[in-house]
Structure 1
Amino acid sequence: MINILLSGVSGAMGATLQQIIAANPDTQVVAGFDQQALTTLPFPVYNDLTKCNEAIDVIIDFSHFAAFPAIFGFARSHKIPIVIATTGLSEADLAAIDEGAKEFPVFKTANLSLGINLIAKMLTEMVAKLEQGFDIEIIEKHHNKKLDAPSGTALLLADAINDGLATKKDYTYGRYGRDAKRSDNELGIHAIRGGTIPGEHSVIFAGNDEIIEVNHIALSKKVFAEGAVKAAQFLVGQAPGRYDMAMVVND
């Protein structure tokens, strides 16, 4: 049985993760971390991790970026493997991840969906054939509560495209103005926010008289929760280092 500390337990993803973890016979939540110490759940929830004494095998962090330093500091000091799914992290946070990964297993990915990571792999392999004669644009759509833009997934897909190109493209975030003509070396990334959209991403290759479009639509948050649990199971027992969803896809 894998004992999980769930960070961000009171959020929508936290609730979904509790359901997915409970349905898995090999995993259980033994503690939570949140801004408020909740007492309505069947496990202790801490707002001060110095009080946490449960035996923990892995941490899943699906919280707010403001809470990240505390949860990552706890993981690092106790050398507990951590799955990081929180977005909007600062440069200081990313630097801490790189340093911490030298000491214990750290799983960081922009998107926990199996489908997105398979698409990213496919894009890297296919874009060389489309480098000449096609303009590339990415459109991402998310719910109206999402804080960061563009999404980490949009950047993941953009980076996967650049990895496969001989000449790297510059990212342009939206367009505005009377002189906003597209340049040849441009990769446009556009963010839409509204309603309760869990997550949609489209990569468009627009050529002369033909359009190729690669789409991924997440119909619920369960996609990401299931990916987080798979990542947690993968991470337990690994050596110190950086891990991501591409490694789970290829495992």
Structure 2
Amino acid sequence: MKIFLSGITGSMGHCLLDSLEAETVVAGSAGRNGEVDGIKVYGYFDDVVEDFDVIIDFSNKFVTKDVLEFALKHKKPLVIATTDISEEVVKDIEAASKEIPIVYSHNMSVGVNAIDIILGKLVKMLENYDVEIIEAHHNQKIDSPSGTAKMLFETIKENRQELYPVYDRVDSREKRQKNELGISVIRAGTIAGMHSVIFAGMDELVEIKHTATSKRIFAKGALKAAKFLLTKENGLYDMKDVLNVDN
């Protein structure tokens, strides 16, 4: 499998390069022309001359729309692993998926997506419990809360539609409301990623938690998604499709 890697000079780009097995990255893109580990890096998508099978996007939300146009131009499958993408670009992704196969997920980790599936079942069983989400990442992460925290919240809300997110209780001088779902954020050190969902009931607490000890899990998930796309026609897929999970 020949890969074009968007965001090749970033931390996740380097992580994916380190995670390669039988795959090959033939070229990549970044803010300017250059080279990484002998691989050609382009500052402009129009300059790309290499042939490739699939595109993996680990860039940033301001670049993803250009990556999408690049994929459409070459009619190539696209894995979008970039987070904090605007609603406008999400609509562009949905439209583009009618012409090319796309995997788009807030988190490429197998474990996180397994938790997301379990959550849907837990919410139904623990319907009267208070729910809180806590997420932690390294001190260089820009977006807050994480895309994964948003994904977990949406899964919970699908099953308890009355819940609404509360991000800050500093100025709140009242007791917790029944339908609140608190989302707390930690940014510190080199934490690769931690997400915890707490269900607190009368005299008991249930917690489901995922901890990433390395960014390699996201790179490996993206590679798995890329291989999955090579067998697919046009359409929009997520990691549950990649894992072949009937949710």
Instruction: Name the TM-score, length of structure 1 as normaliser.
Output: 0.94
Matches within 5 A, 1:82-161: 82-132=78-128, 134-161=129-156
Does structure 1 residue 185 correspond to structure 2 residue 179?
yes
Moved more, 223-232 or 35-44: 35-44
- Show structure 1 runs of 4+ deviating over 3 A: none
Structure 1: how far apart are the matches of 2:41 and 2:35? 7
Q: Deviations over 1:67-108 (max 9, x none)?
A: 212211101222211100111211221111011111111110
Q: How far apart in 2 are the matches of 1:127 and 1:90?
A: 27
Residue 206 of structure 2 aligns to a residue whose secondary structure is strand
- Read off the aligned partner of 2:10 and give its amino acid letter: G
What residue in structure 2 maps to residue 6 of structure 1? 5
Asked if 1 retains the 8 angstrom alpha-carbon contact of 2:9 and 2:36, the reply is no
Superposition TM-score, scaled by structure 2 size: 0.95
Counterpart pick for 2:170 among 148, 151, 176: 176
In 2: Cα distance, 1:141 partner to 1:105 partner? 32
Deviation string, structure 1 residues 161-199 (Cα, Å, up to 9, x no partner): 22233x441111132114243211111111111111000
More displaced 10-residue stretch of structure 1: 113-122 or 82-91? 82-91
Query: May I ask how many residue pairs the two structures share in their alignment?
Result: 245
Matching of residue 55 in structure 1 with residue 51 in structure 2 = yes
Aligned to 2:191, the other structure's residue is in SS state: coil
The 2-side partners of 1:118 and 1:214 are apart by: 11
Q: Unaligned 5+ residue runs, structure 2? A: none
Aligned to 2:158: 163
In structure 1, the residue corresponding to 2:131 is in which secondary structure?
Answer: strand
Matches within 5 A, 1:172-251: 172-250=166-244
Q: Which 5+ residue runs of structure 1 have no aligned equivalent?
A: none
Alpha-carbon distance between aligned partners in 1 of 2:227 and 2:195, rounded to the nearest angstrom: 27
**Percent identical:** 44
The partner residue of 1:34 within 30, 34, 47 is: 30
2: distance between equivalents of 1:180 and 1:94? 37
**2:30 touches 2:43 (CA, 8 Å); kept in 1?**
yes
Distance 1:17 1:214 in 2: 28
Contact 2:99 2:234 in 1 (8 A): yes
Q: Which residue of 1 aligns with 2:72?
A: 76
Q: Helix, strand or coil: the match of 1:13?
A: helix
CA distance in 1, matches of 2:101, 2:26: 20
1:67 aligned residue = 63
**RMSD between aligned residues:** 1.3
SS in 2 for 1:64: coil
SS in 2 for 1:96: helix
1:124, 1:168 → 2: CA distance?
15
Paired residues of 1:137 and 1:189 also in contact (CA < 8 A): yes
Change (3 A) 1:163 1:8: same
